[in-house]
Structure 1
Amino acid sequence: MPGMDRPPEGRPEGYRSLGADMADLEPQVIQGIMSEEAGSHEQEPSTLHTGKMKPQIYVYCKSQCHSIQPGKLRVCCRTCKGGTFVVHQDPSCWEDVLTPFSISGVCQSDGCSGTIAEFYFKCGRHPTSDDYRAVALDLIKCNTRNVICLTCEDVRDRVLVFPCPARHTICLDCFAEYCQVQLNERRFTADGELGYTLPCPVRCPGSLIKETHHFRILGDEQYARYQRFGAEECLLQGGGVLCPAPGCGAGLVPDPGSRRVECVQQAGHGCGLVFCRECRNAYHPGDCDTTVAQPVTDGGGDAYTVSTERAAQAQWELSRSRETIRQTTKPCPKCKAPVEKSGGCMHMVCTVQQCKFEWCWVCSIEWNHQCMADHWFDVNG
C-alpha cells in the first residue's frame, strides 16, 4: 500500500531503507535462516505445518554459496546508491522490484536529489558488502499453498512455478531432473529474446523461463555445459552444424562452400571426426549415398512427459481459487479494529484515525526492516 511522505514519530529519517545487511538482524533470525537451509533440498520431509517462518524470497548467491539460497530484499537510491531512501509507495508485486524506475521516492543522503528507488537482493546466509548483488529467482517460491509437484506428486516446501497461464508447479528436485534430461537431449529452446531456456514440461504457450539463473540448479559443471550448448545453438542459427558423433555434438562453423567438416580437438572439446556437411556421415568424395541411414542426433522422442491428470492438479492458480480469499481482513495488532487487505503489499496501516498503527500482514507485528526484507509484497502471488 502507498507509503507515507514522512516517517512516524520515533523513527529515524529513511526508516524504509534496507541498506543495513545481516548485521542488523536479531541473532535468532540469523540462526533461523542458517538452520532453515543447512541441508540440500533433496528428499527432505515437508515442514509446512510446523509453524516456523519459511523463507519467502530465493536468490542465486554467486559470491560465496554458489547455490540457491534464501534472499533479502533491499532498496537504495538509484542515483547515489545510498541506503537512506524513503519510497513514495510500497512495492506490491515482483514487477515493481524487478522493473527499473517503477517506484519513486526521496533520497535522504546529503547532497543527493535522487527520486528513483533501486531494489536489489542479498543472500540471507551470510553478511555481504554494500555493493554485493544476488540474482533474484522469482519463480522459486515457498509452497504455502501445498500444491503437488507436476512430476512426483509430492508436496514439497520449495517449488518452481512456471510463468504459464496455469502456473504449473514442480519441486526443485524434479526441476533439476527436468533440466538435466532436456540438456542431455539438447531440447532447450533457443529464444531470440530470452536466450537458451525451457518451457514448462506441459509445453504451455508463454511458459519460457526468463531468468536463466534458475538453471544454476544444474550445478557448476552442467551449467557450463548448458552455456556451451547455448553458444552452439547460436552457431546453428548462423549456419553452423553439430558434430554427429555420439556423445560429442560440438557446434562447428564449416568453411563456406565446403562439404568437408572436421571436429577439431582442442581445449577439451571436439572429437576429431571428419564428416560430410550434407549427409552427416563420415566424409567421402562424390555424391552422398541416400540409401545410408543418417544418424539421429536429436535424442528421438521427448523422454520427459507429464500426465494430463497431474498437469490439471499441479497448478498454482488452481490452488489460489480453492482457498479463494482465505482471509482478507485481520484485526489491527494495536487497537483490534478490522483492517481489510487489498493488493499485494504486506505493509498495513490501521484505518482508525486515532490509531494509524503500521504493521505487517504476515507477522501481525509492528512493521520493521525484517518484514521489508523478507516479505514486503506477496512474493508467492
Structure 2
Amino acid sequence: MAGDRVFVIGVGMTKFEKPGRRRNDDGSVWDYPDMAREAGTAALEDAGVDYTDIEQAYVGYVFGESTAGQRAAYELGLTGIPIVNVNNNCSTGSTALFMAAQMIRGGLADCTLALGFEKMQPGSLGATFDDRENPLAQHMTALGKIAEFAMPPAPWMFGVAGREHMQQHGSTAEHFAKIGVKNHRHSVNNPYSQFQAEYTLDEVLASRSIYEPLTKLQCSPTSDGSGAVVLASEAFVDKHGLAGRAVEIVGQSMTTDFASTFDGSAKNLIGYDMNVQAARRVYDQSGLGPDEFQVIELHDCFSANELLLYEALGLCAEGDAPRLIDGGATTYGGKWVVNPSGGLISKGHPLGATGLAQCSELTWQLRGDADKRQVDGVTAALQHNIGLGGAAVVTAYQRADR
C-alpha cells in the first residue's frame, strides 16, 4: 500500500430507519437526497472543512437511478468535482471508502468524500430485473447442488453455510442465536440503530424461522439511511491541524471471488475465501494481527456470517468460533467487542451506507466518543464489509496521534 498516508477526518450518519417510516418536518417523505444531506453535512462539520475542500466524491447506493450519486452530493454543494457512482452490492459503502482512499494514497487528491445511502423497499431483497442474468445466478446454481433452493435467497445462502458449519464443526442453533442476542443488546446504547430492544436467548430462538438455523432476530432488516466519511492526506491533516482527532487507515484491501469460491463448499460461496485473503493483506500492511484490535465492526447480515467471520478474520482457528461465543470473547469484558453498534442485525442495513456507518462507529470508538458503547482502551479497530457476487473490503484503523 505505497503512497501517501490516508486519514479519516470526519464521519457522519443518519439514524437507520424502517423503510418509508421517517418524514421530513414538512411531512414529505424522507428521500435519499435528505439522507445524504444529513449524513454528509455531519461529516463535513465533524471534519471542520467545507464541501469546497472536497476534490472528488465517491457515492454508493444499490437501488436507484443512474446518477443518483450526483443528485445526493449536490445537496452538499455544486462545485463541479468528479463524482463517481458506486455499486458493489452490500459492500458498496466500503467500496466507496476504498476508492476515495486510493485517490489520496496515490497522490491524486488531498481531500475526498465517501458518501453512501439507500432507500429500500420493505421485505426481503429480490432481483430488480427479470430480463437478464442475475449476478448471483452462478453462486446460487452452485449452492443448489449442496442444498435445495429456498426463498428468500439471501438467508438461504447464509443459512446453508451455517448448517455446513454445524455438520462439520458441531456448532448449534444456540451459538447462532447468541450472536443475535449480543448484537441486539449492543444496539440498546446506539441512538443511530434501527432497533434498540434487548432479547433473551429464548426469544431469539423462538422468533419466526426464516431458514434454519436462522430466525428473524438473527437477520438484518431492510433499512433507509446514509453514512459519510471525509478522508485527507497527511499534508492536509498537518496544514489544518487535524491530527488530534484524525484516524489513520493503516491497512485496507478489497478482494473479489477466487476460483475457490466454487470449490463445492457453502462457506466459500458466501465469501469466506474473499474474507480470509482481504484480512491477511490488511494484517500484512498494518503490521497488526487479530489480537491487537480491541473493537471490530463486521458484516453480520445474518448471525451465520458473523460466526464464520470469527474464523475467516483469524480471531480463532477454523471450527473454534463456538468456543469464542460460549466464552463471551466477542462482547464487553471479552477479548474483542464485535459490533458495538449493534451490527447489521440490529443497527440496520441500508446497503450503500453500511460500510460507512461501520467506519463512523470505529472512528468514534478510537476517539473515545462512543458514549455508552465505548470500549475501554481502544488503540486499533478493524472493519469488514462484504457483498455477494462479490467483493469483500477489510480496513484497519489507528488514531493518528499513535
Give the TM-score normalised by structure 1. 0.22
> Counting helix residues as a fraction of each chain, which structure ranks higher?
2
Pair member with larger Rg: 1
- Relative contact order (C-alpha < 8 Å, sep 6+): which is higher? 2
